Structure 1
């Protein structure tokens, strides 16, 4: 039995001042780094995802000049740009595996991405015997929600660390957390993480 931490999309474009910045995004980056520093042995694996979209097309309709902010969005997290990089306050050296998702298409869940080595998240978790996953990051009502639901669907025990997530909207975030609870996730705060 081993435990992984999913760090979802803590990128410049999703934090304050970014193309799709959410309120509290920078604080989430700082809080995750504090958690990893305070509990370096709490997780067997730290796996971080990043949106990593193509810059020269609409990414399967994901990018739009007239976005609906549900399925289509303004351009964001274009591969190789500052917006696609991890936020400076996230301790990137603590990440064991980096996952890129949305390469040329819409993607919300970490499970839709591939590792830098070309593998899937599911295979990575299986090969390391991961049974439990804590989820942190951005945004609660989109990519955090989708990643946690996929982890539950793949038979993992999931906890969402509620003080280390931030969402696009307060209402959407509340609804997402309620949905995750109904699906079987536990909601905790970072002071409940132990090695």
Structure 2
């Protein structure tokens, strides 16, 4: 097998104090850094995504501009290109990241598969080129971008594991529902300790 680690949207705006901060986001950032310090060799490639929205428009209706956000289809402004909120959380050491993906550039985007790398290549093409068969998934937020990324990875024929100790969600009920949906789709819902067990 050829395994990739997908790190979804570990950005300042999605961690505590950010525009759409979730509880536990900073802990996820530091936990991912620890994972990479211990288990970087487990992965052929490490891919990290960021929301990277336009600052001068509503990004295809993604930003609420004329009414209050409904937090389902419309959101407060967040992760705008070039702002501190769009940057990776400082506790996430990106030195081991091979591919940086930006998504939502002018349009709504949740899944990492909707993003492109710095050379404009879509994620599915990158996985094919690298022969990736298995994906471990971590990041923010469980009930939105992690969910969408996991479902797309399964749809693209990959074996997916979601590490529940390295994700954080907007709300408990919707996060639980997202994990149940991912499990039903075929993803393995587990913890990153399986990497320690594999080394034992």
TM-score (norm 1): 0.99
User: Secondary structure in 2 aligned to 1:126?
Assistant: helix
- Find the aligned partners of 2:12 and 2:40 in 1 and give their Cα distance: 24
Between the aligned partners of 2:18 and 2:56, the Cα distance in structure 1 is: 19
2:64 alignment partner in structure 1: 64
Unaligned runs of 5+ in 2: none
Normalising to structure 2: TM-score of the pair?
0.96
**Number of residue equivalences:** 195
The residue number in structure 2 matching 1:95 is 97
Which residues of 2 match residues 113-128 of structure 1 at below 5 A?
A: 113-128=115-130
Aligned to 1:31: 31
What's 2:145 paired with?
143
In 2: Cα distance, 1:19 partner to 1:191 partner: 31
**Cα distance, 1:190 vs. partner?**
1.1
- Partner in structure 2 of residue 131 of structure 1: 133
Q: After TM superposition, give the deviation of residue 149 of structure 1 in Å.
A: 0.2
Spell out, residue by residue over 1:96-155, the C-alpha distance to the aligned partner (whole angstroms, 9 max, x if none). 000000000100000001001110100100000000000000000000000000000000
The ranges of structure 1 where at least 4 consecutive aligned residues each deviate by more than 6 angstroms after the TM superposition are: none
1:81 to 83, 87, 98: 83
Q: Give the equivalent residue in structure 2 for 1:186.
A: 188
| Pairwise CA distance, 1:185 | 0.3
**Residues of 1 paired with 2:192 and 2:33: CA distance?**
11
Whole-Å Cα distance in 1 between the matches of residues 158 and 172 of structure 2? 27
Matching residue of 1:54:
54
Q: Secondary structure at the match of 1:159?
A: strand
The gaps in structure 1 that reach 5 residues or longer are none
C-alpha RMSD of matched pairs (Å): 0.7
Of residues 149, 171, 174 in structure 2, which corresponds to 1:169?
Answer: 171
